[in-house]
Amino acid sequence: MLGLKKSDSRLLLLVAGITLLAPFILNPFPEGSELAQFNAGYPDLMQRFVIFGIFAIGFNILFGLTGYLSFGHAAFLGVGSYAAIWMMKLLTMNIIPAIILSVIVAGLFSLLVGWISLRRSGIYFSILTLAFAQMSYSLAYSVLTPITGGETGLQPKGSDPRILDAALVNGTTPKANLFGLQMGSSFDLTLGSWVFTFNTGFYIAAVIMLISFYLAIRIFRSPFGMMLRAVKSNQNRMNYTGLNSKPYTLAAFVISGMYAGLAGGLMVAMDTQAGPERMFWTASGEVVLMTILGGAGTLIGPVLGAGVIKYMENILSKINSDILHGWFAFLPDGLENLIVNVLYPFIGKGWHLTLGILFMLVVIYLPGGLVEGAQRINRLFKSKSQNDSKAKPEPAE
Amino acid sequence: MEAIVLQILNGLDKGSAYALIALGLTLIFGTLGVVNFAHGALFMIGAFCAVTLSRILTLSHTIIDDTQKDFLGNPLKVEVPYVHDLFGQTTGDAIIDWAVPLSILFAMPIMILIGIVMERGLIRHFYNRPHADQILVTFGLAIVLQEIIKYYFGANPIPTPAPAAFKGSFDFGAMLGFEPNRIIYPYWRIIYFSFAALVVGGVFAFLQFTTFGMVVRAGMADRETVQLLGIDIDRRFTLMFGLAAAVAGLAGVMYTPINAPNYHMGMDFLVLSFVVVVVGGMGSLPGAVLAGFLLGILESFASMREVLNILPGINQIIIYLVAIVILLTRPRGLMGRKGVMED
Amino acid sequence: MSKSTFSRRGVLQTGAVAGAGLAVPTIFTASSAAAFTNEPTGGTVTLGFNVPQTGPYADEGADELRAYQLAVEHLNGGGDAGMMNTFSSKALKGNGILGKKIEFVTGDTQTKSDAARASARSMIEKDGAVMITGGSSSGVAVAVQALCQEAGVIFMAGLTHSNDTTGKDKKANGFRHFFNSYMSGAALAPILASNYGKDRKAYHLTADYNWGYTTEEAVRTSTEAMGWETVAAVKTPLTQTDFSSYIAPVLQSDADVLVLNHYGGNMVNSLTNAVQFGLRDKLVNNKNFEIVVPLYSRLMAKGAGANVKGIFGSTNWHWSLTDEGSKAFVKSFGTKYGFPPSQAAHTCYVQTLLYADAVERAGSFNPCAVAEALEGYSFDGLGNGPTLYRAEDHQCFKDVLVVKGKENPTSEFDLLEIVEVTPAAQVTYDASIFGGELGSCNSGA
């Protein structure tokens, strides 16, 4: 299918299925029940899942294939966001010019950063990218305030020129749209006590993610991808054979920068706001964590990692002590308080602690990330019901 | 001229903190080949050793003072530290006043222990893993350590003043023959700088002049050969990790009077100290120290009003800009060795 | 099936409880029943408390959350009713809002605009919150306010001090009770002039971001009007921790006052450093060198320890005020939590009460009706004296406190003493001076 191998087509179809059915899959618990707390099927989080999925897929093209660890990828996402919001302020609230410009601007910026940073490798490369990203963050926060809005960032306002759009009805807020279809619009489907929300913005972002994912598969399987893997395994040997690896790594860097810019543009399209803290080094660190948590170098891993981290950030952090007390209210008071006190440091405001512990556990026991975990479980089942099928083990990608 | 002298002083002082952290990072990298992202957290834990000791010294019991009222109008509860009961009011107050210097003794064994436990329990499983894994697991550890500290001490900074004897500042300019009151410098910062110089000197002397240090240096240069000679290099490297943790911890203890410690002070220093290490050259101890002072001085100059008027915002980016320029002109940093961290 | 811009979970929750069986799938059309975003139709109403729970302002956020929980308790008829007894409006009956019991959800802003908006959106889209409140920085306040405008819910700002929140970034759905940079400057300047004289030379250190700029501007203008001269203004990076290289040159500049336009960790560190350098022991131009901190908070004063002694600043509210409202609030907060509330807690508690009261008076949760009830509303008894919610920019105008670090604190909370209560008239400005447009209210319909 679409020029993919059978196993890759299966993976693409699986991802497409999960993504398109996400409103059902993410809302497994009925409304009003205690467990509804864990539902993630509301527009904002679903949009974030796919947007950060795109960001991580792009990052993986650089890190997973070439092994170059960039600590400054958030800068490209930030630059893409600023480009998109300026398109919305100057041209139109239609998301298409915004997204296109965000990819182009991020691509150009990553060309510049990559061209300089790729003169070095190893940790020197990491520090160079980090330095560029931190400079972008610091300047966007302070001296570039006229362009970036500084701390408060940029939002579309009624008074912006927006030369392609018709004038707004007096006093209303401009809303991002695709030829009139608003990103925020959704409709709810109620089945019994279950509620499923289908959101326009999410589906647009999801389709873009599927295209990005498809392109990533093609890159992974292409001769170009092979060349990048060669860079990872032994760059010297590659150079000795007379191949100049620089154009390949630079191309990978720019492609992954463009993916980041696309994610930044989509973030603005879904939620019209751009601010400098998306470029801070911890934001760059976050995409590294997503990729490694899910499984660097695998196709599906980064998307999984992005999902897990965003889920924790948005769901775990909202559980407060009142909710905990509610859950365990059926227990005797002493036991209830004990359990709440034991759990409380790990959830709600303590979600960072859980995140830190999770990383350590994954890195220590599952160096290949969650994908490796899934493979191990898979193998466990296969070895139990083996012999008759003689299925060959899944390749690592 | 006065301004320049002053900024050099500032730079040396700022540089001392960078140099101490970078020295520890380089010790760990040079001996064990591990990139330790939790090093900033060790600095922070050192600072909280000082907070803990001053809390211990001020452990109090309450007596009710009927003559005063608290904010709800109830009789005021007055906290009386146990040291007052033990040593009397004056001696007790003096002990509390000296909490930060006393913490050096308190923090030393704790930090060495933490370092050894960290190396034996976690880091040693990562010797043969890619640097990215090392970065990630130590980064996870840094988050965990910092959240634990936050859980017990809160997110707000905790003031930990220097002993009264070292408060205030001293007219450095008058001593050098400048106009009085133009170049003044706080006593505690001068102490911090001297302390840093002492620690750096001590570490170098230890590596240079003791047999233990000689073996470690030999191990840094060629681990396998040393092992083939029948020397248990692993155990020595573990001790070096403890030493590096202690250096970071002491840097933290002494830093508390300069800035009130909070739980994220380690992360604030982490990125900068990595830049320092890389600019100095991975694995080079003199490089780390040199780069620490160099970047400290440059940062101080960049924050001068006269410079900012010409180049607004330069204070925000100077360190990164210098790092980029140095890495592009000197591939391995100022004093880096060939072949380190390049694959 | 009809489209709605934001989901109406409030309706659905109650509709769903009525429970069409699983076997008979019914397709529910949301907007047929609702007139505005998240209209509460059952017996409860959900409010969203969006405060920093991680990051450097976590302690301030925790105090805000305590205040919100107290406010909910009081509004639902529990506790000693706190400031509801002293509030000039008697619309609140202690039976929730419009007879609906108040429930709340909490979220973590992380003091980042993106995280704050994500958290607020989940409260609106998932939990059906009809009002969002909280926050501890202006960047977050402006970002969340814009989101609430778009979504059609009311935003009651927490601690945000930049002029922008109700100035150039004001929104019809957003309301701020806290004071701002302009008011700090206007309240401080006369006190500084009368204490330190009119012939002073000031040196400003300013945090290099929006709030810093507006604060420097406000303090500069108002002190220059009193006859002070501004010798220099230097911008310091937000991420700076050691301010020595900014503070050391101050003595060479002939300035005799240092103004620290810093907040949070920046303020704790810069003030600590300034005191370390012995600036306050110096005589310059035959005058004692002085330091000024335009925006004080008790939590920050605690972080700076003994360094705050004798230093002037301004604050929105302080627990040592002796009016009936403040006393009632300090009593119920202190009884429940064991220590006095901070100014962040106060403003959050008041904002919740004001919102509930406006809904009662409007007789509806519709954001447009609530906004109308708040606009131009005058009230008293909430700790700041007579207060006006100005219709033009949704900013409260009330007395501003000028405070000074206390020389002999009796407890770890007793760090500031009130020097002067500057009357509201003196800090009132024309609504148009900061530009911006309020727009019209959005109910999400």
Task: Provide the shortest C-alpha distance from residue A360 to chain B (in Å).
Answer: 5
Q: Quick check: is A296 in a domain?
A: no
Chain B residues near residue C55 by CB distance under 8 angstroms: 155, 264
What's the confidence (pLDDT) of residue B331? 80
Exposed, middle or buried: residue B71 (CB in 10 Å: 0-12, 13-18, 19+)?
middle
A360 within domain boundaries: no
Q: Among the residues of chain B, which ranges form H helices?
A: 2-32, 39-57, 82-87, 89-97, 99-121, 131-153, 172-176, 187-209, 211-221, 223-228, 233-255, 265-280, 285-302, 305-310, 314-329
Percent of chain C with pLDDT over 70: 92
- How far apart CA C97 and CA C101 sit, in angstroms, is 7
The answer to whether residue A161 scores a pLDDT higher than 50 is yes
> Could you list the residue range(s) of the whole structural domain that residue A98 is in?
6-280
Task: Let me know if residue A79 belongs to a domain.
Answer: yes
- Buried-state track B122-156, b at ≥16 Cβ within 10 A, e below 16: bbeebeeeebbbbbbbbbbbbbbbbbbbbeebbbb
Q: Which domains does chain C have, with CATH numbers?
A: 42-179+321-399 (3.40.50.2300), 183-315 (3.40.50.2300)
Surface of C (383-442) touching A: CB under 8 A: 437-440, 442
Cβ(B282)–Cβ(B294) below 8 Å: no
Q: Residue window 386-415, chain C: list those with CB within 8 Å of chain B.
A: 410-411, 413-414
In this prediction, the residues of chain B whose per-residue pLDDT falls under 70 are: 337-343
CB under 8 Å to C345, separation ≥6 — which residues? C63, C64, C66, C67, C333
Identify the chains in contact with C, defined as 3+ C-beta pairs within 8 A. A, B
What pLDDT does A87 receive? 94
Structural domain count, chain A: 1
C108 CB neighbours in chain A (<8 A) are: 317-318, 348-349, 351
* Residue A105 belongs to a domain: yes
- List the single residue in B with minimal CA-CA distance to C275: B168
Most confident of A86-90, A392-396, C28-32, C108-112: A86-90
Is A248 contained in some domain?
yes
CATH of the domain at A258: 1.10.3470
pLDDT for position A253: 97
Write the residue in C4, C114, C439 that is nearest to A275 by C-beta: C114
> Is pLDDT at C32 greater than 60 in this prediction?
no
Contact C113 A152 (CB under 8 A): yes
Average pLDDT over residues C100-108: 92
Q: What is the pTM of this model?
A: 0.89
Q: What is the pLDDT of residue C3?
A: 45
Instruction: Reply yes or no on whether the pLDDT at A313 is more than 70.
Output: yes
Q: What mean pLDDT is predicted for residues A226-232?
A: 88
The residue in chain A having the minimum alpha-carbon distance to the alpha carbon of residue C439 is: A171
Q: How far apart, in whole angstroms, are the C-alpha atoms of residue C184 and residue C259?
A: 13
Torsion of CA A254, A258, A259, A262, to 10 degrees: 170
> Contact B262/C56, CB-based, under 8 Å?
yes
pLDDT score at B246:
94
Residues comprising chain A, all counted = 397
Examine the pLDDT at A389 and tell me if it is beyond 70. Answer: no
Q: Which helix (H) or strand (E) holds C292?
A: strand C290-295
The answer to whether residues C28 and C10 touch, using CB atoms and an 8 Å cutoff, is: no
Return the bridge partners of C48, or none.
Answer: C105, C132
Tell me: pLDDT of C233 over 90.
yes
Task: Determine what percent of chain A is predicted with pLDDT higher than 90.
Answer: 42
Residue A300 per-residue DSSP state: S
Residue B332 tokens read as 């391995």
Tell me the torsion sign for CA atoms B97, B99, B101, B105: positive
Q: Nearest-CA residue of chain A relative to C12?
A: A195
Look up residue A21 and give its two tokens. Answer: 């059915």
| A101 within 8 A of A84, measured Cβ to Cβ | yes
**ipTM of this complex prediction, to 2 decimal places:** 0.88
CB of A349 within 8 Å of any CB in chain B? no
Domain ranges of chain B: 2-48+114-329
